[in-house]
Each structure stands twice: as structure tokens, then as C-alpha cells.
Amino acid sequence: MALDAGASNVRVILEKGRGDVVTILNGKIDRLYQAASSVLYFHIFAGGKYGTFSTNLMDEVTLRQFTANAVNATLLMTPDEHRSLPERELCYKGDGPDLQQYDPSIESRPSTRGIAIAQEVAAEMLSDGRVISAESEYGDYVEEHFIADSLGFEGYQRKSGFAIGATCSVGGKGDEKPERNWYEDEVFFDNLQYRGCGTKALNMALESIGPVKMPSGSYNMVVDRNIAAKLVMPLTKALKGSALHTRNSFLVDRLGEKVFGENVFLRDMPHTIGNASSRLFNIEGIATKERDIISGGTICNYFIDNYYSRKLSLAVTIGTPSVVIMPKNELLSNNKLSLSDILKRAERGIYVTQFNGGNCNAATGDFSYGIEGFLFNNGEITHPINEMLVSGNLIKLWNNLIVTADDQMKSRKWQIPSLCFSNVNFNGL
């Protein structure tokens, strides 16, 4: 239809999804809903111009008129010589592995299962009289994506997901009401560890009662695995073509350079079996492959999509990473190290369990984040702390990486373990 209306090339994406969610608040159903969606996205190339459009109206007559209007609107755009479909040889050929991202049992799930699970998790929190509020939420979904373009690419992906979350606030000293949360998510229902989820949120909240304020200074810092990606995401964003093009990146012109400590390794693993973020191709149809992001502190790859490849005269890699893993390596001697192990190795410092606001300057790598966590001494947690800021520069921080644990959560996109850094600046009293 788009070609008939005058487009020179076009990519069309069909996304369909459906899911159920139930929320239990203080033992009672607070929300219960189902959702379904179906959307067509058009990426139209016409007369050296480019436009994107979407609709959820699927009958043929309406679609033909919508497509004609979209092509006419594209012809009104400003020309952009860098916009095009990727070369066919870059695209996925259909010979990839089964990523095992779909659990067929979701089609026959009992309608009351989500309610029962959420109530069980809520009951774990409500077992303690100090609880002020206990919220649990169970959700599951199926998503499908089909991509076709006028150069002959076709690609299909289907995946399922199951998640359970718990949020608990408790009465502390005086007016304090510490609140903590925990969640689990999996592609396959049988792998979902929902039992104990509420207990973890409750215990984390109770452990946070009575925080103290620490004096400003330089401390060793251990960052919990649940939030460690906060320190990795700015690195991958700084390697994206869009940031490099605007020079809003502290890693611009650093490809092939050793920027970080020799014990810093990151790898994109898009074919990780059973992970919801894995993929054989991206939204452009470009085939994914494993690649080093950082190896031994050296920048190995930028994230360059088809558009920024043309603007920057760089080879296409991929626009964004899929599953980011911090591989084990001999330099860190991190085989089977637990969080407790790296606390002992750090001896004394601050164990950060939560980031509260703050920012990172994309152009310089300077950061400042509010934190909550615990002081530890001789590897043992002594008491909770809050109202502190951690600040510094990401390049210096990652040059001060001491050791990593072996506790990454393998269901997550960001498989980053607990991290330990030396000589980190904290602002407190």
C-alpha cells in the first residue's frame, strides 16, 4: 500500500500484546485489569524524506487511506539524505537459535492464579505488626512483533513474561516510615520465585529503621546488584551514535582507547537463552551478535544504527545493547564471590542499596546521586544510613573498581553483579 501511494521504501511493524495485572493493597484487591493492544507502525521513505506514523485501525479500506495520507505527509518533511533502510546483507537471515522466550502455559493459566500469588506475597508482609502499608502486584503478558520492509526483510518475535513485586512500609522511630520493595520476573512461570518476595521487602524495610547520618569523606563503596546498573547505563548511553553525533558524550573519540581500569569488562549478549531482552534482530531488522563493549578497560565498540552510521561515517553495529553482562575474569578473581565476600574484602565503607534522584552529566561523566544503605565495618553491616550523596566522575570511579560478586540476576537485561569501588566521595554531615 505504501509503495502504491508513492513511497520509495517502507518498514512496517505490527506489535500485539495482552496481559493481566492484579494488585493487592493491605490484603484486599485494589486493582484487577486486563489489557490488549494492537498497533501498526510505518517508517516511510519517500523523495529523500522520512516520516513515522502509527494506527490501530486494521481494516483494508481505512489502512489504504491512512497509508496514502502518511506518504503525502512524509513528502512535506525536510529532506534527510542519511535516512534509508539498512543494506540487506546487514539484516537477519532467519538462521538464529531458539531464544526460548515464550512459555505456552500462559495460554491456559487459571484466571485466579495471579490473585492467589499476590495475596500470598501480601500475607508475608502483613505477618509483622509494624507494617503500615503492604502492596503486592502480579502481572503476566504475551508480546508479539512482526517486521517487514520493502527490501525483503521479515522477522517475528514472540515472548512471555511473569512478574511479582512487593512494596512494604513499616513504622520506625518517631515519624520515620521506611519503605522498600522487591520484585522478581521471569520468562517461564515455573522459574518465578514469588514465595519469599514479600518477606524480602519486609526485612529490607525493617533493616532500614533508625538510620544515622555519616560525616563526609572518602569511603569504599559496595553497590547492591539490584541497583548496580545505574552506574553502567551512563557508559552505554555515552557510546550511542546519537550522543557521539552531538558530542554530548564523555566517551566521544575514545574508541580503541583504554579509558577504565583493566578489570572492567562489559559484553552485549543478545542471544542469551531464556532472557526477555534477547533478540535476533533489532527494530531495523539488523542482525544482532555478541560483541565486547569494554574489555580490560578498553572501549571496543560504539552503538551505531543505520542512520548514525551514515551521519558519522562509521560501520553499523547495533543501536542499543540487548543483554549487558559483566563477564567473569581472572583479574577480579570473582569466581563464586558473594556479597558477603566482597564486603569483607572492602573491610569498611558504605553499602549502597538505593539511589534517590540525582543526575549524571553525559558530556563529562560527572555524577551525583542521593543514596541510602548501610555502614559496614570489618565486612559486617553495622547500621543503616541515609541523607547522603555520592559524587564523582565515572571514569575515575570505574578505574577504582576493586572486585565484583558473582550474584547477577540472570533474568534481567542488565546482568550486573554487586560491585565494590575504592575511595569514593560521599557528602554527609
pLDDT range class, residue 327, cuts 50, 70, 90: confident
Asked if 183 and 163 touch (Cβ cutoff 8 Å), the reply is yes
Average pLDDT, the chain: 95
Contacts of 356 (CB under 8 A, 6+ apart): 369, 370, 371, 372
Q: What is the pLDDT of residues 7-35, one digit of tens each?
A: 999 999 999 999 999 999 999 999 999 99
- C-alpha cell read off for 92: 537477519
Give me the pLDDT at residue 288, please. 98
Q: Express each pLDDT in 53-62 by its tens digit.
A: 999 999 999 9
Cα 335 to chain centroid, rounded? 25
pLDDT of residue 213: 87
Q: pLDDT of 189-219, one tens digit each?
A: 999 999 999 999 999 999 999 999 899 999 9
Q: pLDDT-based confidence at 335, cuts 50/70/90?
A: low
* Higher pLDDT, residue 335 or 76: 76
Question: Is pLDDT at 334 greater than 60 in this prediction?
Answer: no
> pLDDT tens across 41-86, in order?
999 999 999 999 999 999 999 999 999 999 999 999 999 999 999 9
Domains in the chain, CATH or no CATH each: 9-207 (3.30.2290.10), 211-429 (no CATH)
Confidence grade of residue 332 (pLDDT, cut at 50, 70, 90): very low
